[in-house]
Amino acid sequence: MDNASLPEQPSQKSVEKKQGDKQSNEASQPKAPQEVPHLEGHRQPSAQGVSQSEGAKQKNSKLDKTVAPQPTVAPKPIKAPILFTGEIPVAVRESVETPSRFPPKRIMLLLGLLGVGAIALLLGGWVALQLRQAQSQVTNPTTSPTTGTPMPQSTATTAPDGTLLGHYPYNVAPLSELQAIVPDGSIKLRKAAANAYMTMSAAARADGVNLTPISGFRTLEDQQSLFFDVKAERGQVATKRAEVSAPPGYSEHHTGYAIDVGDGSVPATNLSQTFEKTAAFKWLQANAAHYNFEISFTKGNKQGVSYEPWHWRFVGDRDSLETFYKARGK
């Protein structure tokens, strides 16, 4: 084919001119509004819905103009009645705290001291009661202080001087104050009396005299048996038995200062008035006072007790002296 039969190709300049005209035409034409995509679940209001809402607004505005809003009135508070006591109302009156005269610590200290004082008074009363009961038990024992066994009651009445059947009341010596004067420990005296007796016995032995202890300290039970049991065994009345033996609680042997002495060379005279014929008795008459011992029941004594040359007592210290002579009012 020759070049005459081929369609004529547009030149480069004509193409660029056409494109420029097209772009200018598009720019001169108004753009259509772009549609905004709706979210799922949300509907765009239609023209009819918009017109209806506008009508409702106009109607409500007319109603607002015709009906005026009523002002709200707050309720008045109810006042509580005011009680009057005197001139100032209770509700208005100010409470004035009166300061305490005593601080709390002082009050507690005062209460503590009062409590201690009350306890001390109670203890003092209890101790006094116990001492009184102990004293009454010694002077008129109802039970034994060592075994708790009932003691027989005597129907005899005490004399104005406190004696009973011619015998004075005595306290029982504490066991801690006693000391044995024989190897087997069966005979004991108060420590002061025990030492004095052993010294006296040694002096008598040096002079060829054999002093033998027969009886020393006695408990209430011991004296109970010696008085009531022997009285019943011998068929004696109380007044007759009291001539040679004291009722329990009234024996000098309770004190731990009294001792019955015999002659070891003549034991047949023990606890007999024939003891006065022995060498032992004669030595005691001459020397016992040097060791603070004296005979208790002499011949014709005011107590009415039988003569007992074998019965001696220690009066070598204040306690022993007061024990025997204070009871007699001397």
Total tally of structural domains belonging to the chain:
1
As a whole number, mean pLDDT of residues 158-167 equals 82
pLDDT at 214: 98
Name the residue among 300, 301, 283 with its Cα closest to residue 291.
283
pLDDT at 317 over 80: yes
User: Does residue 148 lie in a domain region?
Assistant: no
pLDDT at 26: 56
pLDDT at 207: 97
The conformation of residue 42, written as its DSSP 8-state character, comes to -
Instruction: Assign residue 225 the CATH number of its domain.
Output: 3.30.1380.10
At 40, which amino acid appears?
A: E
Residue 177's CB: how many other CB atoms inside 10 A? 16
Tell me the per-residue pLDDT of 200-211, one tens digit each, with 9 for 90 and over. Answer: 999 999 999 999
pLDDT at 41: 46
User: Does residue 269 lie in a domain region?
Assistant: yes
pTM of the model as a whole: 0.54
Cα dihedral 264, 269, 275, 279, rounded to 10, equals -40
The conformation of residue 148, written as its DSSP 8-state character, comes to -
pLDDT at 305 over 80: yes
User: Does residue 223 lie in a domain region?
Assistant: yes
pLDDT at 194: 98
pLDDT at 140 over 50: no
Helices 279-287, 191-206: inter-axial angle, 10-degree rounding: 120
Mean pLDDT, the chain, as a whole number?
77
pLDDT at 46: 53
User: Does residue 147 lie in a domain region?
Assistant: no
User: Does residue 259 lie in a domain region?
Assistant: yes
Tell me the per-residue pLDDT of 250-294, one tens digit each, with 9 for 90 and over. Answer: 999 999 999 999 999 999 999 999 999 999 999 999 999 999 999
Scan for tokens 């731990």, then name that residue.
256
Tell me the per-residue pLDDT of 69-128, one tens digit each, with 9 for 90 and over. Answer: 555 655 665 655 555 445 555 554 555 555 555 567 778 877 888 888 888 888 888 877
pLDDT at 67 over 80: no
Calpha distance 266→80 (Å, rounded): 117
Reported residue count of the chain is 330
Domain residues for 314?
175-325
User: Does residue 186 lie in a domain region?
Assistant: yes
User: Does residue 50 lie in a domain region?
Assistant: no
User: Does residue 114 lie in a domain region?
Assistant: no
First to last CA, the chain: 192
